[in-house]
Amino acid sequence: MGYNEPSLPMIRTRVLSPQSVDQIRAAMARYPESRSALLPALHVAQRQVGYLSVEAMEDVAEVTGLPLNEVASVASFYTMFSLRPVGRHVVRLCTNISCLLCGSDEVLAHLRRRLGVGPGETTPDGAFTLRVEECLAACDRAPAMLVNEELHGRLTTQAVDTVLDRARGDGQAVGD
């Protein structure tokens, strides 16, 4: 007669730090429903982990009390969230109409040259991921790009060089 070992509950180690969990709980406290804190919670997780891994989304689901599929569907809806590993600095250039009219195509060509990668790609040293976006809500400062969480507007190729050099040089994420 076979012996079935009693199954033990799975114990999963959180990837989110206690500080991140505290930040998510603080965001939840600002709203009557925890669902309303989902976007800030995903930002907290992405800021810590670098992208929204399955484990990070599981932690967000656990802390907010929301189903994992709801967390994952929101995370996959917004282009500001990355579901795959990215470089230490994520450069998001807007190529929508206002920015295009103000020269975002030139800026994109310059970014391609400087970084040696195209949109959606990461430099071999893992320093930069390049993305293009539809609108950064900074149309009055076109052409605009976000580097991590810092907005840069009225871009010129020289301004792009300054931002990239600063990001590469200080070893810190721009905007940290």
Residues that bind ligand FES (CB under 6 A): 94, 96-99, 135-136, 138-139, 142, 144
Nearest CA to 131 out of 172, 176, 90, 88 is that of 90
Q: Which is nearer to ligand FES, 37 or 144 (CB)?
A: 144
Q: Which is nearer to ligand FES, 75 or 99 (CB)?
A: 99
Token output for 159? 């301004």
Longest CA–CA separation in the chain, Å = 77
Supply the minimum distance, in Å, between the C-beta of residue 98 and ligand FES: 4
Supply the minimum distance, in Å, between the C-beta of residue 145 and ligand FES: 9
Q: Which is nearer to ligand FES, 41 or 90 (CB)?
A: 90
Supply the minimum distance, in Å, between the C-beta of residue 159 and ligand FES: 15
| N residues, the chain | 176
Token output for 147? 């580097």
CA distance 30 to 98: 35
Contact 130, 121 (CB under 8 A): yes
Q: Which is nearer to ligand FES, 44 or 136 (CB)?
A: 136
Supply the minimum distance, in Å, between the C-beta of residue 102 and ligand FES: 8
Rg of the chain over Cα atoms, rounded to whole angstroms, equals 20
